[in-house]
Amino acid sequence: MAWGSSAGPASYNELVSYEVTLIPGDGIGPEVTLAAQRAVDATGVKIDWRRCELNEETILRKNEVLPPEILASLNRTKVGLKGPVTTPIAGGFPSVNVALRKALDLFANVRPVHTLKGVKTRYQDVAIDLIIFRENTEDLYAGLEHEVVPDVVESLKIITRKASLRIAEYAFRYARANGRRRVTAVHKANIMKLSDGLFVRCARETALQYPDIEYKELIVDNASMQLVMRPEKFDCLLMPNLYGDIVSDLTAGLVGGLGIVPGANVGEHHAVFEAVHGSAPDIAGQGIANPTAVMLSAVMMLRHLGEREAADRMHDAITQVYQDGKHLPGDVGGTASTAEFTNAVIRLIQA
Ligand code: NAI
């Protein structure tokens, strides 16, 4: 299942309405998902939004990380648009996001990172266009931690052949279907010879089936340095869970920050689209959050649904607002509120 390419017709607009599970989340989540929802609706694609509450307050009140109604809704709709959810510090609750990805086996975390013209960055003169493919179900995020004896804890890093082959296959298949040139596996197999060693062996095996795609390997520390020095050289990056999480934020910083980088969590049967950023409690409720990342996640969702024309129109409207530069949110140097930015995007979608 690849959201970037679709064999379907250009638009089902007139024929179909889609059911989509909408999880506003908390913090800035409700503000930015509302913006994305309004922009999607403005394209004319008919979405029957199935709203589900999942946030720090419901988790603490129900004493449950993932209420069954959320899974029931996603099992019905197969597609979700999700805002960020705060991970409660109290009570030892695991992350909602980790739980959701595990429960639905959303094994591929796909995060495209592009230069957005109009955003001032340290890399004004180069075009950054890379995609992170992060394994989403295991590694140190398996949550297997315990205290061996007082003051000594153990955290287990799980890497399996099955999950490593699956994410490698997804990345290479995506690269081929979308005209990308290269996949780079990022690892630390020089130290974690067994775990990251297995991940790299699976990447190599998969690469053999894709002779048309160049295959490279980089150790994660070197990859981080190279990304800062020459980000324009990178294409598709294939990573285990932890490195993928960290490198995602690093690459977001290269193109202007967390406010603009979208993402998708994709499994065999479900896809949940969400920004890379979290609930940003420092700016929540002020109406100033940048909704671009969730809007671009919604563009990915429209492509996944086969609504290519609407996806392109929404994408072009967002990029046009950036190029015009008159309604940019504060995190990218403007003064527009979330609503002002969203209204500018909607005007262009409907123009
Ligand atoms: P964060 O991504 O929420 O915020 C980091 C910084 O980026 C903050 O200064 C924030 O104001 C800024 N920022 C993030 N998104 C922005 C936007 N759309 N517009 C403007 N500025 C934005 O990361 P943090 O503070 O580490 O996490 C806060 C909470 O979010 C934690 O409880 C964490 O567990 C949770 N989280 C949830 C995620 C999800 O649900 N997918 C992903 C990452 C974190």
3-state secondary structure the chain: CCCCCCCCCCCCCCCCEEEEEEECCCCCHHHHHHHHHHHHHHCCCEEEEEECCCCHHHHHHHCCCCCHHHHHHHHHHCEEEECCCCCCCHHHCCCHHHHHHHHCCCCEEEEEEECCCCCCCCCCCCCCEEEEEEECCCEHHHCCEEEEECCEEEECCECCHHHHHHHHHHHHHHHHHCCCCEEEEEECCCCCCCHHHHHHHHHHHHHHCCCCCEEEEEEHHHHHHHHHHCHHHCCEEEECHHHHHHHHHHHHHHHCCHHHCCCEEECCCCEEEECCCCCCCCCCCCCCCCCHHHHHHHHHHHHHCCCHHHHHHHHHHHHHHHHHCCCCEHHHCCCECHHHHHHHHHHHHCC
Q: Burial level of 270, CB count in 10 A (0-12/13-18/19+)?
A: buried
* 135 CB within 6 A, ligand 1: no
The most distant pair of C-alpha atoms in the chain lies apart, rounded to whole Å, by 65
Q: What average pLDDT does range 198-213 have in this prediction?
A: 98
User: What is the best residue among 55, 70, 258 to mutate for testing ligand 1's pocket, by most ligand atoms within 8 Å of CB?
Assistant: 258
Q: What average pLDDT does range 154-178 have in this prediction?
A: 97
Reading the block at residue 301, the tokens are 């969702």
Q: 122-157, pLDDT tens digit by residue? A: 998 899 999 999 999 999 988 888 999 999 999 999
pLDDT-derived band at 90 (thresholds 50, 70, 90) equals: low
How far apart are the CA of 312 and the centre of ligand 1, in A? 27
| pLDDT at residue 77, as a whole number | 98
pLDDT-derived band at 108 (thresholds 50, 70, 90) equals: very high
| pLDDT at residue 88, as a whole number | 78
Q: Which residues are catalytic?
A: 141, 188, 221, 245
Beta pairing class for 264-266 and 271-274: antiparallel
Q: What average pLDDT does range 208-223 have in this prediction?
A: 98
* 139 CB within 6 A, ligand 1: no
pLDDT cut 90: percent of the chain above it: 86
pLDDT above 50 (res 218): yes
| pLDDT at residue 15, as a whole number | 62
User: What is the best residue among 93, 277, 294 to mutate for testing ligand 1's pocket, by most ligand atoms within 8 Å of CB?
Assistant: 277
The length of the chain in residues reads 351
Q: Which atom in ligand 1 lies closest to the alpha carbon of residue 291? A: 18
Average pLDDT, the chain: 93
pLDDT above 90 (res 231): yes
pLDDT above 60 (res 94): yes
Q: 20-60, pLDDT tens digit by residue? A: 999 999 999 999 999 999 999 999 999 999 999 999 888 88
How far apart are the CA of 7 and the centre of ligand 1, in A? 35
Residue type, 300: M
Q: What average pLDDT does range 205-233 have in this prediction?
A: 98
Q: Rg (Cα) of the chain, in Å, rounded?
A: 20
Q: What are the residues facing 325 on neighbouring strands?
A: none
* The overall pTM is greater than 0.85: yes
pLDDT-derived band at 62 (thresholds 50, 70, 90) equals: confident
- The span from the CA of 240 to the CA of 212, in Å, is 23
How far apart are the CA of 24 and the centre of ligand 1, in A? 14
| pLDDT at residue 63, as a whole number | 84
| pLDDT at residue 6, as a whole number | 42
User: What is the best residue among 52, 119, 272, 279 to mutate for testing ligand 1's pocket, by most ligand atoms within 8 Å of CB?
Assistant: 279
Say how far residue 9 (Cα) sits from the centre of its chain: 25
| pLDDT at residue 60, as a whole number | 85
Which residues are CB-contacts of 116 (< 8 A; sequence separation ≥ 6)? 255, 256, 260, 292, 319, 322
pLDDT above 80 (res 340): yes
| pLDDT at residue 7, as a whole number | 39
Q: Which atom in ligand 1 lies closest to the alpha carbon of residue 293? A: 18
Give the other-Cβ count within 10 Å of 7's Cβ: 6
How far apart are the CA of 150 and the centre of ligand 1, in A? 32
Q: Burial level of 214, CB count in 10 A (0-12/13-18/19+)?
A: middle
How far apart are the CA of 278 and the centre of ligand 1, in A? 3
- The span from the CA of 293 to the CA of 275, in Å, is 5
| pLDDT at residue 2, as a whole number | 41
| pLDDT at residue 202, as a whole number | 98
